[in-house]
Amino acid sequence: MFAPRCGLESLKPYSVEEIQWPVRLDANENPTDLPPAIKTKVMEKLAVLPFNRYPEMSAISLKSTLAAGFGLKAANVLVGNGSSEILEALCHAFGGAGRSIVYPSPSFSMYGIYAKLADSQSVPVALNADYTLDADKLLAAAKEAAAVVILLCNPNNPTGMVMPLEQIEYIVAGTNSLVVVDEAYHEFYGKTAVNLLRKYQNVAIARTFSKAYSLAAARVGYLLTNEEIARTIGKVLLPYSVNALTLATAEIVYGLRQEFAGGLAVNSRERERMAAVLSALDGVTVYPSQTNFLLVKSENIAAMVAKLSARGIGIRDFSTAPGLTNCIRISVGTPEENKAVLEAVTA
Ligand SMILES: *Cc1c(COP(=O)(O)O)cnc(C)c1O
Protein backbone atom coordinates (compact mmCIF):
# COMPACT_ATOMS: atom_id res chain seq x y z
CA MET A 1 0.00 0.00 0.00
CA PHE A 2 1.17 3.51 -0.71
CA ALA A 3 1.08 6.17 2.00
CA PRO A 4 2.50 9.68 2.17
CA ARG A 5 6.09 10.08 3.22
CA CYS A 6 6.75 9.92 6.93
CA GLY A 7 6.11 13.32 8.53
CA LEU A 8 3.82 14.70 5.82
CA GLU A 9 0.62 13.95 7.73
CA SER A 10 1.48 16.75 10.18
CA LEU A 11 2.07 19.29 7.40
CA LYS A 12 -0.91 21.49 6.61
CA PRO A 13 -1.11 22.81 3.05
CA TYR A 14 -0.08 26.49 2.78
CA SER A 15 -3.47 28.06 2.79
CA VAL A 16 -4.30 31.65 2.32
CA GLU A 17 -7.91 32.31 1.45
CA GLU A 18 -8.20 32.72 -2.29
CA ILE A 19 -10.84 35.38 -2.32
CA GLN A 20 -10.59 37.81 -5.25
CA TRP A 21 -10.89 40.97 -3.17
CA PRO A 22 -11.62 44.12 -5.19
CA VAL A 23 -8.83 45.75 -3.14
CA ARG A 24 -6.00 43.27 -2.65
CA LEU A 25 -3.87 44.26 0.30
CA ASP A 26 -3.19 40.74 1.55
CA ALA A 27 -0.04 39.58 -0.25
CA ASN A 28 2.42 42.50 -0.13
CA GLU A 29 2.45 42.77 -3.91
CA ASN A 30 3.31 46.02 -5.62
CA PRO A 31 -0.11 47.68 -6.11
CA THR A 32 0.82 48.83 -9.62
CA ASP A 33 1.90 46.85 -12.66
CA LEU A 34 5.33 47.29 -14.23
CA PRO A 35 6.10 50.86 -15.34
CA PRO A 36 4.85 51.13 -18.95
CA ALA A 37 8.34 51.77 -20.37
CA ILE A 38 9.56 48.50 -18.81
CA LYS A 39 6.50 46.54 -19.85
CA THR A 40 6.96 47.61 -23.48
CA LYS A 41 10.57 46.40 -23.43
CA VAL A 42 9.51 43.08 -21.89
CA MET A 43 6.85 42.57 -24.57
CA GLU A 44 9.32 43.34 -27.34
CA LYS A 45 11.76 40.81 -25.96
CA LEU A 46 9.11 38.13 -25.46
CA ALA A 47 7.87 38.68 -29.02
CA VAL A 48 11.17 37.39 -30.43
CA LEU A 49 11.89 34.76 -27.79
CA PRO A 50 12.11 31.25 -29.23
CA PHE A 51 9.33 29.47 -27.32
CA ASN A 52 10.45 26.10 -28.70
CA ARG A 53 13.82 26.20 -26.94
CA TYR A 54 14.69 25.29 -23.38
CA PRO A 55 16.02 28.21 -21.35
CA GLU A 56 19.74 28.59 -20.75
CA MET A 57 20.70 25.63 -18.60
CA SER A 58 22.15 27.64 -15.75
CA ALA A 59 20.49 31.03 -16.31
CA ILE A 60 23.94 32.51 -16.86
CA SER A 61 22.74 35.79 -18.40
CA LEU A 62 20.56 36.77 -15.46
CA LYS A 63 23.13 35.51 -12.97
CA SER A 64 25.84 37.62 -14.63
CA THR A 65 23.60 40.70 -14.69
CA LEU A 66 22.79 40.30 -10.99
CA ALA A 67 26.40 39.52 -10.06
CA ALA A 68 27.59 42.69 -11.80
CA GLY A 69 25.06 44.69 -9.78
CA PHE A 70 26.74 43.53 -6.57
CA GLY A 71 30.37 43.34 -7.69
CA LEU A 72 30.20 39.55 -7.37
CA LYS A 73 30.74 36.66 -9.79
CA ALA A 74 28.00 34.70 -11.53
CA ALA A 75 29.13 31.71 -9.43
CA ASN A 76 27.97 33.61 -6.34
CA VAL A 77 24.38 33.81 -7.62
CA LEU A 78 21.50 31.34 -7.78
CA VAL A 79 18.18 32.15 -9.39
CA GLY A 80 14.91 30.39 -8.69
CA ASN A 81 11.16 30.40 -9.15
CA GLY A 82 10.79 33.06 -6.54
CA SER A 83 13.19 33.21 -3.64
CA SER A 84 10.88 30.57 -2.15
CA GLU A 85 12.32 27.93 -4.45
CA ILE A 86 15.89 28.77 -3.49
CA LEU A 87 15.14 28.92 0.23
CA GLU A 88 13.47 25.54 0.02
CA ALA A 89 16.42 24.15 -1.96
CA LEU A 90 18.80 25.57 0.63
CA CYS A 91 16.92 23.75 3.38
CA HIS A 92 17.04 20.54 1.33
CA ALA A 93 20.74 20.96 0.66
CA PHE A 94 21.77 21.70 4.24
CA GLY A 95 18.89 20.24 6.22
CA GLY A 96 17.71 16.66 6.25
CA ALA A 97 16.76 14.17 8.90
CA GLY A 98 18.05 14.94 12.36
CA ARG A 99 19.12 18.50 11.51
CA SER A 100 17.72 21.72 12.90
CA ILE A 101 16.76 25.01 11.29
CA VAL A 102 16.39 28.00 13.60
CA TYR A 103 14.43 31.18 12.92
CA PRO A 104 12.82 33.97 14.93
CA SER A 105 9.07 33.83 15.48
CA PRO A 106 6.86 35.42 14.35
CA SER A 107 8.44 35.59 10.93
CA PHE A 108 7.70 34.32 7.42
CA SER A 109 5.35 31.38 7.87
CA MET A 110 6.99 29.41 5.05
CA TYR A 111 10.22 28.85 7.03
CA GLY A 112 8.63 26.12 9.11
CA ILE A 113 7.28 24.50 5.95
CA TYR A 114 10.68 24.50 4.21
CA ALA A 115 12.20 22.90 7.29
CA LYS A 116 9.49 20.26 7.39
CA LEU A 117 9.82 19.47 3.66
CA ALA A 118 13.53 18.99 4.22
CA ASP A 119 12.75 16.55 7.05
CA SER A 120 14.46 18.94 9.42
CA GLN A 121 13.50 20.05 12.90
CA SER A 122 12.09 23.61 13.11
CA VAL A 123 13.34 25.63 16.05
CA PRO A 124 11.33 28.87 16.23
CA VAL A 125 12.80 31.35 18.72
CA ALA A 126 10.27 33.82 20.11
CA LEU A 127 10.93 37.51 19.45
CA ASN A 128 10.65 39.89 22.40
CA ALA A 129 7.16 41.24 23.20
CA ASP A 130 7.91 44.36 21.09
CA TYR A 131 9.06 42.12 18.19
CA THR A 132 12.72 43.00 18.54
CA LEU A 133 15.17 40.10 18.46
CA ASP A 134 17.28 38.88 21.37
CA ALA A 135 20.37 37.80 19.41
CA ASP A 136 21.94 35.97 22.35
CA LYS A 137 18.79 33.95 22.85
CA LEU A 138 18.76 33.05 19.15
CA LEU A 139 22.44 32.06 19.22
CA ALA A 140 21.92 29.96 22.36
CA ALA A 141 18.99 28.15 20.70
CA ALA A 142 21.06 27.57 17.55
CA LYS A 143 23.91 26.19 19.62
CA GLU A 144 21.69 23.94 21.69
CA ALA A 145 20.01 22.55 18.56
CA ALA A 146 23.34 22.33 16.70
CA ALA A 147 21.46 24.25 13.98
CA VAL A 148 22.71 23.88 10.44
CA VAL A 149 20.78 26.92 9.18
CA ILE A 150 19.55 30.15 10.78
CA LEU A 151 16.90 32.02 8.77
CA LEU A 152 16.60 35.76 9.43
CA CYS A 153 14.08 37.93 7.63
CA ASN A 154 15.14 41.57 7.40
CA PRO A 155 12.94 43.59 7.30
CA ASN A 156 10.78 40.97 8.95
CA ASN A 157 7.50 39.74 7.51
CA PRO A 158 4.89 40.10 9.05
CA THR A 159 6.10 42.61 11.67
CA GLY A 160 7.70 45.02 9.19
CA MET A 161 10.47 45.67 11.68
CA VAL A 162 14.21 45.67 11.03
CA MET A 163 17.20 44.14 12.78
CA PRO A 164 20.18 46.47 12.95
CA LEU A 165 22.97 45.32 10.62
CA GLU A 166 25.30 45.11 13.63
CA GLN A 167 22.95 42.58 15.16
CA ILE A 168 23.01 40.46 12.01
CA GLU A 169 26.80 40.57 11.94
CA TYR A 170 26.88 39.67 15.64
CA ILE A 171 24.82 36.56 14.85
CA VAL A 172 26.90 35.61 11.80
CA ALA A 173 30.14 36.05 13.75
CA GLY A 174 28.77 34.13 16.73
CA THR A 175 27.74 30.92 14.99
CA ASN A 176 28.98 28.22 12.65
CA SER A 177 25.49 27.78 11.21
CA LEU A 178 24.72 29.06 7.73
CA VAL A 179 22.93 32.38 8.31
CA VAL A 180 20.44 33.26 5.58
CA VAL A 181 19.23 36.84 5.48
CA ASP A 182 15.94 36.97 3.58
CA GLU A 183 15.83 40.51 2.18
CA ALA A 184 12.50 40.19 0.34
CA TYR A 185 11.65 43.76 1.40
CA HIS A 186 15.14 45.21 0.95
CA GLU A 187 14.16 47.85 -1.62
CA PHE A 188 11.75 49.48 0.83
CA TYR A 189 14.45 49.67 3.49
CA GLY A 190 17.69 50.32 1.66
CA LYS A 191 20.16 48.65 4.02
CA THR A 192 21.59 45.24 3.26
CA ALA A 193 23.75 42.53 4.79
CA VAL A 194 25.36 41.83 1.38
CA ASN A 195 28.72 43.20 2.53
CA LEU A 196 28.96 40.39 5.10
CA LEU A 197 29.60 38.06 2.14
CA ARG A 198 33.07 39.57 1.81
CA LYS A 199 33.94 38.91 5.42
CA TYR A 200 32.21 35.65 6.40
CA GLN A 201 31.81 32.25 4.76
CA ASN A 202 28.54 31.34 6.49
CA VAL A 203 26.19 33.90 4.94
CA ALA A 204 23.62 33.91 2.16
CA ILE A 205 21.31 36.74 1.10
CA ALA A 206 17.93 36.04 -0.53
CA ARG A 207 16.13 38.62 -2.67
CA THR A 208 12.97 38.57 -4.74
CA PHE A 209 11.48 40.39 -7.73
CA SER A 210 7.97 39.73 -6.36
CA LYS A 211 7.58 42.74 -4.12
CA ALA A 212 9.24 46.07 -5.02
CA TYR A 213 9.82 45.09 -8.65
CA SER A 214 6.14 44.36 -9.49
CA LEU A 215 6.96 40.88 -10.75
CA ALA A 216 5.05 38.47 -8.52
CA ALA A 217 3.43 36.96 -11.61
CA ALA A 218 6.78 35.91 -13.08
CA ARG A 219 8.05 34.05 -9.98
CA VAL A 220 11.70 34.97 -9.73
CA GLY A 221 14.16 35.45 -6.90
CA TYR A 222 17.84 35.03 -6.25
CA LEU A 223 20.40 34.13 -3.64
CA LEU A 224 23.87 35.63 -3.16
CA THR A 225 26.44 33.53 -1.34
CA ASN A 226 29.91 32.09 -1.65
CA GLU A 227 30.71 29.78 -4.55
CA GLU A 228 30.81 26.61 -2.52
CA ILE A 229 27.41 27.12 -0.92
CA ALA A 230 25.97 28.14 -4.29
CA ARG A 231 27.37 24.97 -5.89
CA THR A 232 25.88 22.83 -3.12
CA ILE A 233 22.40 24.36 -3.37
CA GLY A 234 22.68 24.16 -7.15
CA LYS A 235 22.72 20.36 -6.83
CA VAL A 236 19.19 20.48 -5.43
CA LEU A 237 17.70 22.95 -7.93
CA LEU A 238 16.44 21.23 -11.06
CA PRO A 239 17.93 22.29 -14.39
CA TYR A 240 15.81 24.83 -16.28
CA SER A 241 13.83 25.53 -13.13
CA VAL A 242 13.25 29.16 -14.13
CA ASN A 243 11.56 29.48 -17.50
CA ALA A 244 12.95 31.57 -20.36
CA LEU A 245 10.07 34.09 -20.29
CA THR A 246 10.76 34.87 -16.67
CA LEU A 247 14.54 35.02 -17.13
CA ALA A 248 14.18 37.50 -20.00
CA THR A 249 11.68 39.59 -18.06
CA ALA A 250 13.76 39.69 -14.89
CA GLU A 251 16.86 40.78 -16.79
CA ILE A 252 15.05 43.77 -18.28
CA VAL A 253 13.46 44.72 -14.96
CA TYR A 254 16.76 44.51 -13.09
CA GLY A 255 18.48 46.66 -15.70
CA LEU A 256 15.78 49.32 -15.35
CA ARG A 257 15.27 49.04 -11.59
CA GLN A 258 15.82 52.78 -11.07
CA GLU A 259 12.36 53.19 -12.67
CA PHE A 260 10.86 51.96 -9.40
CA ALA A 261 12.27 54.81 -7.31
CA GLY A 262 9.15 56.95 -7.67
CA GLY A 263 6.89 54.09 -6.60
CA LEU A 264 9.07 53.35 -3.59
CA ALA A 265 8.84 56.98 -2.50
CA VAL A 266 5.05 56.88 -2.82
CA ASN A 267 5.00 53.66 -0.81
CA SER A 268 6.91 55.09 2.11
CA ARG A 269 4.89 58.29 2.15
CA GLU A 270 1.61 56.36 2.03
CA ARG A 271 2.79 53.88 4.67
CA GLU A 272 3.59 56.68 7.12
CA ARG A 273 0.32 58.44 6.38
CA MET A 274 -1.62 55.23 7.07
CA ALA A 275 0.40 54.48 10.20
CA ALA A 276 -0.35 57.94 11.60
CA VAL A 277 -4.11 57.62 11.09
CA LEU A 278 -4.35 54.02 12.26
CA SER A 279 -2.23 54.49 15.37
CA ALA A 280 -4.42 57.42 16.45
CA LEU A 281 -7.41 55.06 16.70
CA ASP A 282 -8.48 53.88 20.15
CA GLY A 283 -6.76 50.68 21.29
CA VAL A 284 -4.74 50.33 18.07
CA THR A 285 -0.98 49.75 17.85
CA VAL A 286 0.89 50.06 14.55
CA TYR A 287 4.40 48.59 14.49
CA PRO A 288 7.21 50.59 12.87
CA SER A 289 7.61 49.31 9.32
CA GLN A 290 10.37 49.63 6.73
CA THR A 291 8.39 47.66 4.16
CA ASN A 292 5.28 47.89 1.97
CA PHE A 293 2.97 46.69 4.73
CA LEU A 294 1.88 47.49 8.27
CA LEU A 295 1.27 45.13 11.18
CA VAL A 296 -1.74 46.48 13.04
CA LYS A 297 -2.88 45.28 16.44
CA SER A 298 -6.25 46.19 17.87
CA GLU A 299 -8.17 45.26 20.98
CA ASN A 300 -11.13 44.88 18.64
CA ILE A 301 -9.48 43.44 15.57
CA ALA A 302 -12.58 41.49 14.51
CA ALA A 303 -14.49 44.75 14.06
CA MET A 304 -11.67 46.22 11.96
CA VAL A 305 -11.51 43.13 9.76
CA ALA A 306 -15.30 43.25 9.30
CA LYS A 307 -15.23 46.91 8.29
CA LEU A 308 -12.49 46.25 5.74
CA SER A 309 -14.07 43.16 4.24
CA ALA A 310 -17.44 44.92 4.00
CA ARG A 311 -15.74 47.33 1.60
CA GLY A 312 -14.06 44.59 -0.37
CA ILE A 313 -10.62 45.13 1.13
CA GLY A 314 -8.59 41.95 1.63
CA ILE A 315 -5.91 41.95 4.31
CA ARG A 316 -3.92 39.15 5.97
CA ASP A 317 -5.51 38.13 9.23
CA PHE A 318 -2.94 36.84 11.74
CA SER A 319 -5.17 37.41 14.77
CA THR A 320 -5.06 33.77 15.85
CA ALA A 321 -1.45 33.04 14.82
CA PRO A 322 1.19 32.36 17.51
CA GLY A 323 2.75 35.59 18.79
CA LEU A 324 0.41 37.71 16.65
CA THR A 325 -2.78 37.76 18.72
CA ASN A 326 -5.16 40.50 17.53
CA CYS A 327 -2.89 41.43 14.62
CA ILE A 328 -3.56 41.91 10.91
CA ARG A 329 -1.16 42.80 8.13
CA ILE A 330 -2.24 45.47 5.65
CA SER A 331 -0.20 45.93 2.49
CA VAL A 332 0.30 49.50 1.37
CA GLY A 333 -1.75 49.96 -1.80
CA THR A 334 -2.24 52.79 -4.23
CA PRO A 335 -3.20 56.14 -2.65
CA GLU A 336 -6.86 55.46 -3.59
CA GLU A 337 -6.77 51.98 -2.03
CA ASN A 338 -5.20 53.35 1.13
CA LYS A 339 -7.83 56.04 1.30
CA ALA A 340 -10.47 53.30 1.16
CA VAL A 341 -8.75 51.51 4.07
CA LEU A 342 -8.64 54.63 6.20
CA GLU A 343 -12.26 55.49 5.39
CA ALA A 344 -13.33 51.96 6.30
CA VAL A 345 -11.58 51.86 9.67
CA THR A 346 -12.50 55.38 10.72
CA ALA A 347 -16.15 55.06 9.66
C1 LIG B 1 7.30 37.36 -0.46
C2 LIG B 1 8.39 36.77 0.36
C3 LIG B 1 9.34 35.87 -0.14
C4 LIG B 1 9.41 35.31 -1.47
O5 LIG B 1 8.70 35.48 -2.41
P6 LIG B 1 8.90 34.83 -3.83
O7 LIG B 1 7.73 35.36 -4.53
O8 LIG B 1 8.93 33.36 -3.67
O9 LIG B 1 10.20 35.35 -4.37
C10 LIG B 1 10.34 35.42 0.67
N11 LIG B 1 10.43 35.81 1.92
C12 LIG B 1 9.56 36.66 2.45
C13 LIG B 1 9.73 37.06 3.85
C14 LIG B 1 8.51 37.16 1.71
O15 LIG B 1 7.64 37.98 2.27
Residues 162-204 pLDDT 10s:
999 999 999 999 999 999 999 999 999 999 999 999 999 999 9
User: Exposed e or buried b for every residue in 93-130, given b needs 16+ CB within 10 A?
Assistant: bbbeeebbbbbbbbbbbbbbbbbbbbbbbbbbbebeee
Q: Ligand 1 pocket check: which of 210, 219, 332 to mutate, most ligand atoms within 8 Å of Cβ? A: 210
Residue 8 CB neighbours (<10 A): 10
In tens, the pLDDT along 243-256 reads 999 999 999 999 99
6: left (phi over 0), alpha (psi -120 to 50) or beta: beta
Angstrom CA distances, 287 to 20, 132, 157, 328, stand at 27, 11, 12, 11
In tens, the pLDDT along 135-172 reads 999 999 999 999 999 999 999 999 999 999 999 999 99
219: left (phi over 0), alpha (psi -120 to 50) or beta: left
Atom in ligand 1 nearest the alpha carbon of residue 219:
7
Which residue puts its alpha carbon closest to atom 6 of ligand 1? 82
Contacts of 7 (CB under 8 A, 6+ apart): 116, 119
Structural domains for the chain: 8-32+260-346 (3.90.1150.10), 36-258 (3.40.640.10)
Q: Which amino acid is at 53?
A: R
CA distance 145 to 150: 11
145 CA → ligand 1 middle, Å: 26
Ligand 1 contact via 84 beta carbon (within 6 Å): yes
83 CA → ligand 1 middle, Å: 6
